[in-house]
Structure 1
Amino acid sequence: MKPFWNLLKLLLPLILLSACDIGEDEVSYHFVSLTTVSVDMPEEFRLNETYEIGVTVLEPNGCTEFAGFDILPENTTIRRVVAIGTEQDDVPCTEVLSEVATSFDFICLYSGTYTFRFWTGKNEDGVDQFMEFEVPVVP
């Protein structure tokens, strides 16, 4: 058994070093917030039911792709929703705007009224702007 452990001690650093090679062919990117254009929100929720919420977001150029949503609870029933994209670094981009229709699933866990605040960009003063929806939870 001891020869096995000695061999493992020798091979493990080699395996780890070779697995960490980051070549120059790797794509470099960073995350960006994407503007929400429209939302397809239900008129009401029922407790413990799941809803698909449709969202249309704007990709600002040919180097940006929608990646998902950052959904942050601001309170028990208040959600701030920001669409997130990945934008490639150091590559030429087209300046074509593209609308992307996507969705996320939401499970209604609390009674009362939910407020959803979808990020729509910043105004001329640099202040975040939101599209808001209030959805009551019915019995």
Structure 2
Amino acid sequence: MKKLFFLFAIVLSLGSCSLDDDSEPGYHMEIVPVENFIVPDTFNYLGFHQIKLFYKKPTICHELAGIYFEKHLNVRTVGLQCIVTNSPNCIPYEGELYEVNFNFQVISNETYLFKFYKGKDEDGNNIFEEVEIPVN
């Protein structure tokens, strides 16, 4: 019992340590829109297929952290997740489109519905562009 108490005290004390005075993290995560995409017209059952995504950095403080990918049955929701540095110097980025690819494995013989995140409307609701891809 003493060992358990000692371990708990160590974990608690380490969790409360801070190396700086800021209580806010220096970054946050953000899903950015898929500007454009390239998908196959059809999928082959049990095959791998490359999907290309194109995106813009909203500011110079945005860096791609990965692909947001959610699945439910044969529906796939796709976006791009960026890590954003919290800085007052985050000016808008007017640069080119960036490309990122991923391989998608087809594990169902039913049609897939891909929903690509396109941003938010004026009411703050998510907007998606949907594409159905049949499976051979």
TM-score where L is the length of structure 1: 0.77
- The answer on whether the counterparts of 2:31 and 2:68 sit within 8 Å (CA) in structure 1 is no
Pick one of 69, 72, 85 that aligns with 1:88. 85
Shift of 1:23: 6.4
Deviates more, 1:33-42 or 1:85-94: 85-94
Instruction: Write the deviation string for residues 36-59 of structure 1: whole angstroms up to 9, x where unpaired.
Output: 100100000011111110000121
Determine helix, strand or coil for the equivalent of 1:32. Answer: strand
TM-score where L is the length of structure 2: 0.79
User: Unaligned regions of 5+ residues in structure 2, if any?
Assistant: 1-9
Runs of 4+ in 1 over 6 A off after TM superposition: none
Structure 1 vs Structure 2: percent identity of aligned residues?
A: 26
Q: What is the alpha-carbon distance in structure 2 between the residues aligned to residue 90 and residue 96 of structure 1?
A: 14
- The answer on whether the counterparts of 2:79 and 2:116 sit within 8 Å (CA) in structure 1 is yes
Determine helix, strand or coil for the equivalent of 1:45. Answer: coil
Determine helix, strand or coil for the equivalent of 1:36. Answer: coil
Q: CA RMSD in A?
A: 2.7
Q: What is the alpha-carbon distance in structure 2 between the residues aligned to residue 36 and residue 89 of structure 1?
A: 22
Pick one of 26, 46, 59 that aligns with 1:48. 46
Letter in 2 for 1:70: Y
User: Unaligned regions of 5+ residues in structure 1, if any?
Assistant: 1-12
Q: What is the alpha-carbon distance in structure 1 between the residues aligned to residue 94 and residue 46 of structure 2?
A: 37
Q: What is the alpha-carbon distance in structure 1 between the residues aligned to residue 19 and residue 109 of structure 2?
A: 49
Name 1:79's counterpart in structure 2: 76
Indicate yes or no: 2:118 matched with 1:133. Answer: no
Name 2:101's counterpart in structure 1: 103
Q: What is the alpha-carbon distance in structure 2 between the residues aligned to residue 97 and residue 77 of structure 1?
A: 36
Q: What is the alpha-carbon distance in structure 2 between the residues aligned to residue 21 and residue 104 of structure 1?
A: 38
Letter in 1 for 2:104: F
- The answer on whether the counterparts of 2:36 and 2:54 sit within 8 Å (CA) in structure 1 is yes
* Larger proportion of strand: 1
Instruction: Write the deviation string for residues 72-125 of structure 1: whole angstroms up to 9, x where unpaired.
Output: 113x21111121001001341221234211111110000110000010000111
